[in-house]
Amino acid sequence: MTTATTRTISIPVNKPFVDDRVLDYIKTVLDSGKLSGDGPMGKAVEAQLCELFSITHVLLTTSCTHALEMAMMMLDLQPDDEVITPSFTFVSTANAILHGGGKPVFCEINDRTLTIDVKDFERRITSKTRAVVVVHYAGVSAEMDEVMAIARARNMVVVEDAAQGVNAKYKGKFLGTIGDCGAYSFHDTKNYVCGEGGAFLTDEETLARKGEIIREKGTNRANFLRGQVDKYTWVDLGSSYILSDLLAAVLKCQLDDLDVIQERRRRIYEMYMMGLRDLEQHEKLRLPIIPEYCESNYHIFYILLRSEVERNTVMKKLKEFGIQTTFHYVPLHSSPFALQALGTKDVSLPVTDRISQNLLRLPIYPQIETAEVEYVIEKLHECLK
């Protein structure tokens, strides 16, 4: 183990990595005089994302939350329609289902990758189930072959919440491009950032056209801009979900550094894996698992401790050492809103509960220094000796 640094260091759990070149991109947009969305910069970024991730259509959005809402609005859900999703996810996944007029049905995760438990998902399908929203956790894919086979056999739509999955792969395919549609996040806690932003992805022409309408306040303005109609008008229910070209400029700069960012995160991830392996061997914690068919983007590095009390104690001690760590997620089925609005009191998801109680996220961001990672590893040993 390396020597401890005695200086006071404050290591956040996450920090956006933005190169100064971003100012040139922003200036280009400012000079163009076109600051709203769907302009030249937005279109260039969409084209670049299509190319990078081998997908036919990308629509930049104001957030991943909004991309998920677009996906749900396209389903024309009726009041009793159900959409299955893990309880172990961010609130946006479930909010989108409710905004789309459906009912979220929470299912279990598997305790290897913390993604949807395929058997539990299948058990929860009823005659009212219309869709499933899979969540790729920490940059590691859900078991997509199994999910797709079950969904296709029952004529269900598959939406990928790939908020955390940008530039990660499942069996050679980029996350977000495997289901009927996918959603990315470029929020500043993610690997590729523009402050607040997201994208809706699909290979299906009809979904892309619907997406354009929803994203543009329910109008056919996109057709108008392509010269396909001579004036645009209100054609469906919609909202205002287009990313400003100014933020698209920030994203453009991030995409230039796509591999640099991923490689730096990989190096930190590997340092943690090597430095904490002995603690796992002594059964003090469990390290994350990346199945061999997955290529991670190393979005999150987490450890699983033995109990909630221990997790909270370690989090507190690390804070005293100047290291920020955090938990993930409060399971949605046990949240105040789900209990009250969805009546989830009797939903039992023991794996989800246990993971949520024991999980601790460690600092990981491209510019974290080697000595800082070593310091985190050292202090974790101290906490768990």
Binding site for ligand PLP (CB under 6 A): 63-65, 89-90, 92-93, 135, 161, 163-164, 185, 187, 198
Residue type, position 37, single letter? G
Q: Closest approach of Cβ 61 to ligand PLP, in Å?
A: 8
Q: Are 207 and 35 in contact (CB under 8 A)?
A: no
Measured from the CB atom, the residue of 65 and 202 that comes closer to ligand PLP is 65
Measured from the CB atom, the residue of 93 and 219 that comes closer to ligand PLP is 93
Q: Are 71 and 239 in contact (CB under 8 A)?
A: no
Q: Closest approach of Cβ 164 to ligand PLP, in Å?
A: 5
Measured from the CB atom, the residue of 189 and 312 that comes closer to ligand PLP is 189
Q: Closest approach of Cβ 148 to ligand PLP, in Å?
A: 19
3-state SS string over 316-371?
Answer: HHHHHCCECCECCCCCHHHCHHHHHHHCCCCCCCHHHHHHHHHEEEECCCCCCCHH
Q: Closest approach of Cβ 207 to ligand PLP, in Å?
A: 19
Q: Closest approach of Cβ 331 to ligand PLP, in Å?
A: 13
Measured from the CB atom, the residue of 42 and 198 that comes closer to ligand PLP is 198
Q: Closest approach of Cβ 197 to ligand PLP, in Å?
A: 7
Measured from the CB atom, the residue of 17 and 321 that comes closer to ligand PLP is 17
Measured from the CB atom, the residue of 92 and 220 that comes closer to ligand PLP is 92
Q: Are 178 and 188 in contact (CB under 8 A)?
A: no
Q: Are 18 and 247 in contact (CB under 8 A)?
A: no
Measured from the CB atom, the residue of 69 and 372 that comes closer to ligand PLP is 69
Residue type, position 21, single letter? R
Q: Closest approach of Cβ 187 to ligand PLP, in Å?
A: 4
C-alpha span between 318 and 252 (Å, rounded): 36
